[in-house]
């Protein structure tokens, strides 16, 4: 709390230095928008999604002001492709952005930031770089596009990036004070809980009572590679320790999220703003044989993400919607909530209409790997390649039942083909990967 009070004092000093007080509201204007993406966050690790004991009291408290979407499916288990779907409301087959193929989002695609910028919103993004580097095209429409934790002048051999969420929050709040926008779209992103897992001792102690096994308190990418290659055997206690390091970093994110919310309250922006909290994909912890990794399968541990939407003036606060929705529904939802017409190219649905009692969005959630493998999910079934999983009786997706349910499998195959065929004819462009960007991707485990 002492650090929070000091930061709020800093905000007040900055406001005075800028010759302004708190942002003034213009009557009858569209709400401002804050979109928070916590990279690699599984929905089931949040207290408000049932995790016990909760390591996320601040996010859980925010949930009481928000609509919680219980079953949200990402369109890809990788950062670039998933965020491209988030911003364009297109499935991966149609936006084409791919880190593994070094393909960037084409400038001709329409993004959420461009829609809001053209409607008069000030747009700013503070993110972790890597797969969200400007070279990959996802920054289009943002007037400010920064990586706050980047320190380009670090001595050789020292880490040039800080993946903590707190510097991103501080920079975003400072931008609000300096800019004083009447309405804005603010995007925040962090890799803090992405591997490697490097929690502080304090955060680890907050989530793990004890561990006496051989693994260190920080889990490196090399260690995860050794575990997944079979060179470093682990038992259940060791696996739980690895999960604890992930959850400890989530605990740190939660602390920084509290600073963001209190900062918005202090600036008079919380109540009237639309605030969306989500993630791009999850992480596997041994459900299908791999530990501490993502982007390799289309199972639910990598595709189920949290989605909390806080509307202005606590509209429908605390409600839970159980129907399946998609990450590509977020952009149309934001556009509708600020009173703008939904772009015809957006493939997603307006979840605000759904939350108000309207029909649910499409029951079909299509997701894809960078390499091209595709899944199609309904609330009851998932088809991955030629395999079919009965999610009602086998939520862990352990048994292929395509042979016993040939009709269901064929129907989902046809719908998948239709969804892919109906997309826009805009190809991706080659992404220039600089040595610095390659180094950043390597630090995140994407370049071996």
CATH number of the domain enclosing 263: 3.40.720.10
Distance CA 344, CA 138 (A): 20
CA nearest to 346, candidates 358, 334, 336, 331: 331
On whether residue 182 sits in a domain, the answer given is yes
pLDDT digits (tens, 9 = 90+) for 252-269: 999 999 999 999 999 999
In a domain, 282, yes or no: yes
What pLDDT is stored for residue 150 in this prediction?
61
Tell me if 6 is assigned to some domain.
no
pTM of the model: 0.90
Q: In sequence order, which residues have a C-beta less than 8 Å from that of residue 13 and are 6 or more positions away? A: none
Domain count, the chain: 1
- With 60 as the cut, is the pLDDT of residue 18 above it? no
185 domain-assigned = yes
228 neighbors 290 (Cβ within 8 angstroms): yes
Residue 12 lies in a domain: no
The total of other beta-carbon atoms located within 10 Å of residue 436's CB is 13
pLDDT exceeds 90 at position 92:
yes
Mean pLDDT of 27-56: 92
Query: How far apart (Å, rounded) are the C-alpha atoms in residues 205 and 209?
Result: 7
Helix (H, G, I), strand (E, B) or coil at 381: strand
In-domain check, residue 18: no
Q: Give per-residue pLDDT as tens, 335-378.
A: 999 999 999 999 999 999 898 888 888 999 999 999 889 999 99
Write out pLDDT tens, residues 54-76: 999 999 999 999 999 999 999 99
> Does any domain span residue 19?
no
**Has residue 364 been placed in a domain?**
yes
Distance from C-alpha of 260 to C-alpha of 207, rounded to nearest angstrom: 22
298 is in which domain, residue-wise?
30-443
């Amino acid at each position: 709390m002492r650090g929070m009070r000091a930061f709020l004092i800093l905000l007040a000093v900055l406001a005075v230095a800028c010759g302004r007080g708190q942002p003034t509201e213009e009557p009858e204007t569209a709400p401002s928008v804050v979109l928070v993406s916590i990279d690699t966050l599984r929905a089931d690790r949040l207290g408000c999604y049932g995790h016990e004991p909760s390591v996320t009291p601040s996010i859980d408290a925010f949930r009481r002001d928000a609509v919680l979407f219980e079953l949200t499916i990402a369109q890809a288990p990788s950062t670039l492709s998933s965020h491209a779907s988030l911003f364009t409301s297109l499935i991966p087959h149609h936006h084409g952005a791919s880190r593994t193929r070094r393909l960037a989002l084409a400038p001709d695609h329409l993004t959420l930031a461009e829609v809001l910028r053209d409607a008069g919103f000030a747009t700013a993004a503070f993110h972790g770089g890597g797969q969200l580097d400007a070279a990959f095209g996802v920054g289009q429409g943002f007037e400010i596009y920064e990586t706050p934790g980047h320190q380009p002048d670090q001595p050789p051999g020292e880490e040039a990036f800080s993946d903590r969420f707190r510097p991103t929050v501080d920079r975003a709040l400072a931008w609000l004070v300096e800019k004083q926008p009447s309405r804005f779209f603010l995007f925040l992103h962090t890799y803090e809980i992405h591997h490697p897992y490097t929690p502080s001792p304090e955060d680890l102690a907050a989530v793990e009572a004890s561990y006496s096994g051989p693994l260190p308190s920080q889990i490196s990418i090399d260690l995860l590679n050794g575990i997944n290659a079979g060179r470093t055997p682990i038992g259940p206690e060791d696996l739980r320790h690895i999960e604890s390091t992930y959850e400890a970093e989530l605990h740190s994110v939660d602390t920084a999220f509290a600073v963001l919310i209190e900062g918005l309250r202090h600036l008079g922006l919380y109540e009237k703003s639309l605030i969306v909290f989500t993630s791009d994909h999850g992480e596997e912890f041994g459900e299908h044989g791999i530990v501490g990794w993502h982007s390799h399968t289309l199972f639910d541990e990598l595709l189920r993400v949290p989605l909390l939407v806080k509307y202005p003036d606590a509209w429908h606060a605390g409600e839970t919607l159980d129907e399946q929705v998609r990450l590509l529904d977020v952009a149309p939802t934001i556009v509708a909530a600020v009173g703008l017409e939904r772009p015809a190219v957006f493939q997603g649905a307006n979840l605000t209409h759904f939350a108000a009692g309207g029909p649910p969005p499409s029951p079909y959630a299509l997701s894809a790997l960078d390499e091209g493998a595709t899944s199609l999910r309904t609330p009851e079934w998932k088809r991955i390649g030629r395999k079919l999983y009965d999610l009602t009786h086998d939520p862990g997706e352990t048994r292929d039942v395509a042979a016993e349910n040939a009709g269901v499998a064929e129907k989902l195959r046809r719908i998948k083909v239709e969804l892919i065929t109906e997309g826009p004819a805009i190809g991706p462009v080659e992404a220039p990967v600089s040595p610095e960007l390659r180094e950043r991707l390597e630090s995140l485990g994407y370049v071996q």
